Amino acid sequence: MPLVITITEAGRKFRSRELSPETFLEGLLDRIQRENPKINAFYEVFWDEARHAAAQAAAEFRSGLDRGPLHGIPIGVKDLYDVKGYRTTAGAHPGFHPAPAIEDAVAIARLRAAGAILVGKTATHEWAFGVSTNNAHFGPTRNPHDATRMVGGSSGGSGAALAAEFVLGALGTDTGGSVRIPASVCGCVGLKPTLGRVSTQGVTPLSRSLDTMGPMANSVDDAFLLLEGMCGFRPQETIVPRIVVPKGYFLEECDSRVVQLITRVAPVDSVDLGDVQAVWEANGVILLSDAASVHETRLREHPEWFGESVGPRLQKGMAHRGVDYARARDVQREWTARLDRVLGKDTVLAVPATPVPATVIGDREGPALSRVMTRFTSPFNLAGVPVLCLPAGRVDGLPVGMQLVAGTGQESLLRTAAASLHL
């Protein structure tokens, strides 16, 4: 039996006593101990706590207590979420590390109550402000598909942990694509829920107006089980939506082989999305301005503690004027209204997640890499709509992903759309 199976299959085996949560976890921990030093998916592993939780899950199953589909399931936690008793490093310089958290983030508390086993803290780009997870303070996280390649970001450790078969699920955050970019280049599933669906309480912010908490997994069903654990959302039955690939922006400045993978799944349609480039730029203005406000004191007191791919971008955020921010908000309102009209309750867009597969570590960093990798993801952060990233195929032997985009609050429609594609 492979180490990593679906959450549903693991749960069935736990309940039939065919497999013990303790035995299963030990297999994963053995693999992490051997492989994580090469991949750097985890910054910290909760060896003792995870084993204790697995033993507790096994005892509860024996006693007849069943906490639901996540009971006994090992997951990774992006090192932005507070976990009681552990430091939340946010991938930052050690001088910025806080004391150990005194309580769990809201999403973590809910997952604990659902019986999930927290395996450890996964790697992140510094302050979640980057798309490579080539961290100036913790070193690069390497792609299990090719160790010379990056894992995307900022939730790169979670993507790597799934690709390396360290866990069955993982948590990410998404402000400009930070769940979907790693999902795309690591070959897993990432779900950015509707803005506000999952509580941000207890999670280190990047942009308080754009941050979204989301799950990552190896199947669509597993991602939705994790979302249920994080916030209680349960998908409903829906009609099979109309799926279209919009002409223009989302098929431009993109590897032709990625375009071929996307356009094979649905008809290309002249959907009027307006000036999406302006939308991408507006998301950048808001994100940079919000991030600069979060870090203003740190920037002033210890500018030397920020890595080269992060510090200059935060300084740029400080330079945005109030009128720039206001105009970006105008673009946001217009874009959100346009997407509402286009999508309604019965249409899903299919677009690339990343225009290229994983790049070589260090080949491009900072703004240069962000311009490439957030081109197709961040417009949907600005609208706050839910997006599901699925594996679409491979280019040069490396995974690339496809985004399914639905209207606000229409996560269930995404699940139905994904099932209809039979990928």
- Omega of the bond leading into 154 within 30 degrees of 0 (cis): yes
Asked about 178 being catalytic, the answer comes back as yes
Strands, E, within 35-116: which ranges? 42-45, 74-78
| Residue 73 phi, psi (nearest 5) | -90, 125
Catalytic entry in 154, 158, 184, 378 = 154
Catalytic entry in 78, 121, 132, 158 = 78
Start-end of H helices in 235-321:
256-263, 276-301, 311-319
Within 10 Å of residue 260's Cβ, how many Cβ atoms? 12
Q: State whether residue 211 is helix, strand or coil.
A: coil
Residue 399 CA to residue 301 CA, distance in Å, equals: 41
> What's the alpha-carbon Rg for the chain, to the nearest Å?
20
Catalytic entry in 132, 178, 207, 370 = 178
C-alpha angle with apex 345: 412 to 196, nearest 5 degrees? 55
Asked about 270 being catalytic, the answer comes back as no
**Please, which residues bridge with residue 371 across strands?**
none
Asked about 289 being catalytic, the answer comes back as no
The number of C-alpha atoms within 13 Å of 412 and in the hemisphere containing its C-beta is: 11
The number of C-alpha atoms within 13 Å of 406 and in the hemisphere containing its C-beta is: 25
**Please, which residues bridge with residue 399 across strands?**
394
Collect all residues with Cβ–Cβ distance below 8 Å to 34 and sequence separation of at least 6.
none
Q: What is the DSSP letter of 123?
A: P
Residue 237 CA to residue 346 CA, distance in Å, equals: 13
In terms of Cα–Cα distance, which of 28, 38, 3, 216 is closest to 119?
Answer: 28
Q: State whether residue 272 is helix, strand or coil.
A: coil
In terms of Cα–Cα distance, which of 173, 272, 164, 257 is closest to 213?
Answer: 173
**Please, which residues bridge with residue 349 across strands?**
244, 405
Active centre residues (catalytic):
78, 154, 178
